[in-house]
Copies of this chain bind each other. A is one copy, B any other.
Amino acid sequence: MAKRKDGKETRRKLLDTACEVFAEKGFQAAKVTEICRRAGVNVAAVSYYFGDKESLYTSAWRQTVEDFLSSDIPPPEDLPPEERLFITIRSIIRKILSIDTDKGYFRRLEMMEMANPTGLVDNAWKELIGPRQQKLLKIIRDIMGPAASENAVRLCGMSIINQCRGYILMQKNRLAFLESEELTPEKADQIIEHISRFSIAGIKGVCNS
């Protein structure tokens, strides 16, 4: 192999490392110096390949989300809405808890972005994540029936998303409702099962009143 690679190699290495460091520390706390040191490239490579730190961050975020969503299979339309909700929740939780493929970068990036919004990823967020929300709302609407107000549907959507999203922070969660910090697949299944039953009952509970 030559000393000068084909260019894509260095860029990819840099981007991967950026995902890692940004996920660990967030945008501001992550230093380009450290990213480049870890990636084994020169500091100027950031400028060369991405222009500046912000663009590197945006690129890292996009790549992370795309990896995150790439394995996402929507539930079949002909199943009853309760089962579709279960599948959706399972998919979300598995991703959040990194049961499947990714390295949990998305979860941590999202956490960082929630705490210290940079505003750099809003466009990508709407584009990539927005449609998923609409699908969830449709499932809820199917469960609640046509009589449900749009506001009620949205509130149920918040309840479900927020239940799931709470586990984003779980690892560092001092609340420690769960006994052990360690996350086993069995524990993940328990969580999935719980949120699904809790939420279906909750949705129906807010209908009858």
Contact = CB atoms under 8 A, between A and B. Distances in A.
B172 A133 contact: no
A55 B158 CA distance: 36
Interface in A150-209: 150-152, 154-159, 161-167, 169, 172-175, 177-179, 190-191, 194-195, 197-206, 209
Interface stretch (A14-22, A69-77, A112-120): A112-120
Copy total for this chain: 4
Contacts of A172: 114, 117
Contacts of A162: 162-167
A138 to B, nearest CB: 13
Contact of A198 (B29, B117, B159, B174): B159
18 contacts: A112-B116, A114-B169, A114-B174, A137-B177, A151-B190, A159-B163, A159-B194, A159-B195, A159-B198, A162-B162, A162-B166, A162-B167, A166-B166, A198-B205, A198-B206, A200-B205, A201-B205, A202-B202
